[in-house]
């Protein structure tokens, strides 16, 4: 049995939306995220920050053209764009990136689809980055796009390094964004890569350079049962804004670099199936008064989101109308002056 035929809450697929179609048909409630691998050199992930000297709108339009077929697929709930962009950059570059994200989400809005933005690598970005991206995250909250993050823990490291810097880093992000004025309670986060990774090094000043994977978590340091127990603990302690986490990886493109992480066909994958089915069955119950209240609250929030979106659109249309009226008035004045000049010339003949 494939994992996506179970009661899992979320599934992500790379370069294959047919898996998501099958998942939705078998489990209509599952959240689907599609990612198309973007690369300009055929080896490394495309990073929009490499274009920070160009127009953010033009780069957003280019990215949309690349991923639009996935984003518009009827069984795709959210579409990723870039993967693990390097974010520990200058304020000027991050301001550019925020503008790019806003243009990109506008394109998604125009086409009635949702984006999974950023997808930062584990242990990143540094805290100073979040306030500089706050305006873009506010737009994501308003228009119901989601924030993607990657979170891996080390099997032999405990304490604040693993719990605060690697796993549960989303909690720090929420705190920084809330301090910057984002309605963090309404932000939705997907952990789009997730797991226990034995190749992440321990270091008090952990950086992206120290997160390079040189092997596999499947090196005997954790049993299947221990691995599952770690993931259960994360599930119990994650912030409520997290809508799900995607274990990396079930299936592979055949590359030795990534196949070392592939759990497809292993006893661990079978345990995931059992766990997902058990969780799904345990969730079948009669709705309570609290459930109804929560559903009403969510519907109210959704209605408020839609009202906010329509108000913004109305303001934009009103501004456009004023600009067109201004242009029309200017053209009319020029026409009147030209007509007066013609009469003047005719009178002098």
Percentage of the chain surpassing pLDDT 70? Answer: 78
Predicted local confidence at residue 189, as pLDDT: 98
How far apart, in whole angstroms, are the C-alpha atoms of residue 110 and residue 316?
13
Q: Is the pLDDT of residue 201 over 70?
A: no
Nearest-10 crossing angle of helices 56-71, 91-110:
40
Q: Is the pLDDT of residue 50 over 70?
A: yes
Q: Is the pLDDT of residue 39 over 60?
A: yes
pTM across the whole model: 0.76
Residues 208-224: tens digit of each pLDDT: 344 344 344 444 457 78
Residues 143-189: tens digit of each pLDDT: 999 999 999 887 666 655 556 678 899 999 999 999 999 999 999 99
Contact between 33 and 77 (Cβ < 8 Å): yes
Provide the pLDDT confidence category of residue 304 given band limits of 50, 70 and 90. low
Q: Given the structure tokens 């049962």, which residue do they identify?
A: 225
Q: Is the pLDDT of residue 204 over 70?
A: no
| 206 or 64, higher pLDDT | 64
Q: What is the DSSP string of 182-239?
A: --GGG--EEEEEEEE-TTPPP-TT--GGGG---S-S-SSSS-HHHHHHHHHHHHHHS-
| 133 or 288, higher pLDDT | 133
Q: Is the pLDDT of residue 84 over 50?
A: yes
Predicted local confidence at residue 301, as pLDDT: 58
**What is the token pair recorded at 70?**
């996935």
Q: Given the structure tokens 């199936």, which residue do they identify?
A: 273
Query: Alpha-carbon dihedral of residues 172, 309, 13, 269, nearest 10 degrees?
Result: 50
Of 36, 22, 45, 33, the residue nearest 246 (C-alpha): 33
Q: Give the angle subtended at the CA of 19 by the CAs of 16 and 22, to the nearest 5°.
A: 145
Q: Which 3 state secondary structure label does DSSP give 76? A: coil
Contact between 93 and 52 (Cβ < 8 Å): yes
Q: What is the DSSP string of 136-158?
A: HHHHHHHHT-EEEEEEEE-TT--
**What is the token pair recorded at 246?**
């995607």
Q: Choose the CATH number for 3-284 among 3.20.20, 2.60.40, 3.30.559, 3.90.550.
A: 3.20.20
User: Residue 118: left (phi > 0), alpha (psi -120 to 50), or beta?
Assistant: left
Of 86, 194, 94, 93, the residue nearest 137 (C-alpha): 94
Q: Given the structure tokens 């950023």, which residue do they identify?
A: 118
Q: Is the pLDDT of residue 289 over 60?
A: no
How far apart, in whole angstroms, are the C-alpha atoms of residue 71 and residue 116?
10
Predicted local confidence at residue 87, as pLDDT: 96
Average model confidence (pLDDT) for the chain? 82
Q: What is the DSSP string of 263-289?
A: -TTSHHHHHHHHHHHHHHHHT-----H
Kindly state the helix (H) or strand (E) to which residue 291 belongs, with its residue range. helix 289-348
**What is the token pair recorded at 74?**
């009827």
Burial 280-310 (b: 16+ CB within 10 A, else e): eeeeeeeeeeeeeeeeeeeeeeeeeeeeeee
């Amino acid at each position: 049995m494939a994992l996506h035929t179970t009661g899992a809450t979320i599934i992500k697929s790379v370069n294959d939306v047919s898996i998501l179609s099958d998942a939705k048909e078998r489990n209509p409630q599952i959240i689907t995220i599609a990612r198309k691998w973007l690369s300009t050199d055929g080896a490394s992930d495309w990073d929009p920050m490499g274009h920070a000297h160009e127009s953010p709108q033009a780069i957003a339009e280019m990215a949309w053209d690349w991923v639009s077929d996935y984003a518009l697929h009827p069984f795709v709930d959210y579409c990723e764009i870039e993967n693990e962009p390097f974010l520990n950059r200058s304020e000027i570059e991050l301001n550019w990136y925020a503008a790019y994200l806003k243009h990109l989400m506008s394109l998604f809005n125009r086409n009635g689809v949702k984006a999974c933005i950023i997808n930062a690598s584990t242990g990143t970005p540094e805290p100073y980055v979040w306030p500089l991206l706050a305006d873009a995250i506010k737009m994501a909250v308003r228009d119901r796009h989601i924030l993607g993050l990657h979170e891996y823990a080390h099997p032999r490291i405990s304490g604040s390094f693993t719990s605060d810097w690697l796993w549960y880093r989303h909690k720090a992000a929420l705190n920084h964004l809330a301090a910057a004025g984002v309605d963090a309670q309404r932000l939705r986060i997907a952990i789009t890569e997730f797991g226990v990774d034995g190749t992440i090094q321990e270091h008090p000043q952990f950086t992206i350079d120290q997160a390079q994977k040189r092997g596999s978590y499947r090196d005997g340091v954790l049993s299947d049962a221990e691995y599952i127990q770690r993931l259960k603990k994360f599930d119990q302690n994650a912030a409520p804004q997290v809508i799900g986490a995607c274990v990396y990886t079930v299936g592979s493109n055949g590359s030795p670099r990534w196949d070392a992480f592939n759990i497809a066909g292993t006893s661990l994958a079978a345990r995931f199936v059992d766990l997902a089915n058990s969780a799904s069955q345990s969730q079948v119950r009669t709705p309570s008064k609290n459930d109804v209240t929560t559903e009403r609250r969510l519907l109210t929030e959704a209605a408020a989101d839609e009202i906010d979106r329509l108000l913004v659109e109305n303001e934009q249309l009103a501004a456009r109308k004023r600009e067109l009226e201004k242009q029309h008035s200017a053209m009319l004045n020029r026409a009147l002056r030209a007509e007066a000049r013609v009469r003047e010339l005719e009178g002098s003949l």
